């Protein structure tokens, strides 16, 4: 996966064709709770099944169009989809810009940069105060890299 992420990081301003979201089973790292907030669904050990693809998506609150990276993963023998935005976004879904006016890349791009197709890694939704974040563990201890079982 590092090749595609490096390519995307190099060409982050590149326009992409708007493609519809695919159906399928989605990996859920958290569940909304009554009264507000999100509760973690625990640690997920997944395997990357194919190179992620860059697509257009929508911010879940504002409906604003955003660039996303879509993943096809396997968890417990079941295919699951998962996506992240390419840029760090503010509460209104607008990309946060650096001192040069360029969008700031999402922290998970760096966390997932070395994962290759066939590799297993762990993800878990964590919180720090009122903010949620995804913790990535890679490589996993006692798990063979590029384990194709």
pTM (predicted TM-score): 0.78
Is residue 147 in some structural domain?
Answer: no
Is residue 92 in some structural domain?
Answer: yes
Is residue 44 in some structural domain?
Answer: yes
> How do residues 27-72 score in pLDDT, each as one tens digit?
999 998 888 889 999 999 999 999 999 999 988 778 889 999 999 9
Is residue 142 in some structural domain?
Answer: no
> How do residues 119-144 score in pLDDT, each as one tens digit?
999 999 999 888 899 999 999 997 55
Is residue 116 in some structural domain?
Answer: yes
For residue 145, count CB atoms less than 10 angstroms from its CB and return exposed for 0-12, middle for 13-18, buried for 19 or more: middle
Is residue 25 in some structural domain?
Answer: yes
Range of the domain at 47: 2-137
Q: Domain tally for the chain? A: 1
């Amino acid at each position: 996966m590092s090749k595609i992420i490096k390519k995307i990081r190099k060409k982050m301003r590149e326009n992409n064709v708007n493609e519809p979201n695919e159906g399928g089973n989605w990996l859920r790292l958290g569940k909304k709770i009554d009264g507000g907030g999100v509760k973690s669904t625990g640690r997920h050990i997944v395997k990357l099944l194919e190179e992620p693809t860059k697509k257009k998506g929508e911010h879940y609150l504002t409906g604003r169009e955003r660039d996303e990276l879509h993943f096809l993963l396997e968890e417990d023998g079941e295919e699951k989809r998962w996506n992240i935005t390419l840029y760090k976004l503010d509460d209104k879904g607008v990309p946060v810009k650096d001192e040069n006016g360029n969008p700031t890349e999402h922290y998970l791009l760096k966390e997932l940069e070395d994962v290759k197709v066939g590799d297993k890694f762990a993800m878990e939704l964590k919180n720090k105060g009122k903010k949620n974040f995804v913790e990535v563990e890679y490589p996993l201890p006692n798990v063979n890299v590029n384990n194709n079982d």
